């Protein structure tokens, strides 16, 4: 799954990932411990078919909902994203990319039973994109998104059994293309992810609090592996 992530990408790095030609946003700030229900950046196609940077609540609210759902909708499982009512329409026509440069997972410490956080990232902490879905709900006036997850690759499965799908940049356009549907759309994610490249290390338990926003969230613990 993905329950927390980081995004310290600059506008130049965002532009390099997506070739967005709009003026840079004035409020693009580094984020060190992003939690569900917080506002995040995401990229989708505008009406002209160009990539556009938008903001939304990380916890999808379907377009048809009359109130905020109580179900956990900050992740969408790739196995059922095209059939689950909350995600079905977004999977068809509102796919997105969510920029990040790391995410956190937790294991249980055998000595004290508490949660140990791990930071997972690509080599050199380079920026990447989670595959996602987005929606706009007119009833509530809310734009929102969710991150797609899949079974974890072998070398990170001891940390968690699932992983957010980190898509290869060459396949961004194909994922956002609404003419690609069903199994073909799923295959884009399952065959073209970067999760095999993930590196990881333990970080301090301060990260366990969603209110903690210290700049040291990525600092490795000594002898953590």
Is 79 considered catalytic here?
A: no
Using DSSP's 3-state secondary structure scheme, residue 93 falls into helix
**Helix (H) and strand (E) counts in the chain:** 4, 12
How does strand 128-137 pair with strand 142-151?
antiparallel
Catalytic-labelled residue, pool 8, 96, 105, 145: 105
Q: Give the E-state strand segments of 62-141 in sequence order.
A: 75-77, 95-100, 102-108, 115-121, 128-137
Is 145 considered catalytic here?
A: no
Alpha helices by DSSP H, the chain: 11-18, 85-93, 172-176, 182-191
Catalytic-labelled residue, pool 2, 8, 96, 145: 2
DSSP 3-state helix, strand, coil percentages of the chain (rounded to 5)? 20, 35, 45
Q: What is the DSSP letter of 67?
A: S
Provide the residue count of the chain: 225
Instruction: Report the alpha-carbon distance of residue 195 to residue 11 in Å, rounded.
Output: 24
Residues noted as catalytic: 2, 105
């Amino acid at each position: 799954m993905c329950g927390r992530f980081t995004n310290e990408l600059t506008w130049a790095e965002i532009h390099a990932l997506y070739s967005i030609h709009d003026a840079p946003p004035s409020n693009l700030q580094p984020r060190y411990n992003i939690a569900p229900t917080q506002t995040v950046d995401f990229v989708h196609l505008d009406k002209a078919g160009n990539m556009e940077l938008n903001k939304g609540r990380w916890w999808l609210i379907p377009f048809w909902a009359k109130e905020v759902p109580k179900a956990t909708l900050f992740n969408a499982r790739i196995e059922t994203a095209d059939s689950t009512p909350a995600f079905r329409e977004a999977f068809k026509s509102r796919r997105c990319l969510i920029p990040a440069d790391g995410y956190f997972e937790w294991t249980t410490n055998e000595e004290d039973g508490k949660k140990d956080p791990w930071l997972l990232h690509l080599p050199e902490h380079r920026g990447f994109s989670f595959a996602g879905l987005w929606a706009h709900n007119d009833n509530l006036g809310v734009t929102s998104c969710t991150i797609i997850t899949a079974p974890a690759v072998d070398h990170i499965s001891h940390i968690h059994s699932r992983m957010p799908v980190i898509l290869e940049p060459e396949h961004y356009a194909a994922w956002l293309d609404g003419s690609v549907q069903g199994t073909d759309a799923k295959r884009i994610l399952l065959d073209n992810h970067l999760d095999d490249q993930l590196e990881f290390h333990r970080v301090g338990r301060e990260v366990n609090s969603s209110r903690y926003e210290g700049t040291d969230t990525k600092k490795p613990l000594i002898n953590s592996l």
